[in-house]
Amino acid sequence: MAVVVVQMPPQPTEDEFYTELMLAMNYTEFEHMSLRSLRSLSRRTLSEFGTKVLVLDEIDKMLAGSPRQQRVFLNTIRFLTNDLRIPIVCAGTEDARIAVLTDPNLADRFAAFELAPWRNDQAFRQLMASFAGLLPLRRPSNLDDKEVRQRVLALTEGVTGRIFRLMEAVAIAAIRNRREMIDAGSFDDEQLLLPLVSMQVIANTKRALRRRAA
């Protein structure tokens, strides 16, 4: 298991974290272990699995804990970086960067990278074209078409998760209405059920602006 991805627990306690870490490595028989045993087993298992990268997802949840819990958890991350000597990736929202910066020693060890929204460029064309081979539609869809790309970016603001959820919703709609293909008009359908609240707000705002302009 070269890459282990752990989702941060709702409460950033040490035992909850190591429990999530063991679950990420498909372990289930450790409910009655002490924290010391759980910590030792986690480190040993990561080493035995040959783990090269440890990803801590939604690290911003750490801020939900008390100041003491936050300090203990930051010490846990620092301990793992020293002990495992493998890259550790902390992923999350902007609050994730703030969470790591609360510890000066960790702030010196982690470089911050922001995933920028997609733009209407060649990379985005390739992303859209890749959907054509993934979606289970009977008719071909020219998904890297300029108008299609503009509709997708307008509804998602270039956020990766929104793009994937939107394409899934549009494909489902194409199957249900028996068109079995996607074009620019597929995104303007008033009956299209957008999968995320954020996207519904964007769509409603744009529709209101279009009506006002008319």
According to CATH, the topology of domain 3-107 is Rossmann fold (3.40.50)
Question: pTM for the complete prediction?
Answer: 0.65
User: For the segment 54-106, what is each residue's pLDDT rounded down to a tens digit?
Assistant: 999 988 888 888 888 888 888 888 888 888 888 999 888 888 787 777 778 77
pLDDT of residue 64: 81
Mean pLDDT, the chain, integer? 84
Cβ density class 4-24: b for 16+ within 10 Å, e for less: bebbbbeebbbebbbbbbbeb
pLDDT at 211: 60
Query: Given a cut of 90, is residue 109 above it in pLDDT?
Result: no
Span 107-119, average pLDDT: 84
CB count in 10 Å sphere of residue 159: 17
Residue 101: per-residue pLDDT: 78
d(CA 144, CA 123): 10
User: What pLDDT digit, counting tens, does each position of 13-36 carry?
Assistant: 888 888 899 999 988 877 778 889
* pLDDT score of 121 more than 90: yes
pLDDT digits (tens, 9 = 90+) for 144-198: 889 999 989 988 889 888 899 899 888 998 898 898 999 888 887 666 666 555 5
| Cβ contact 124:163 at 8 Å | no
pLDDT for res 191: 62
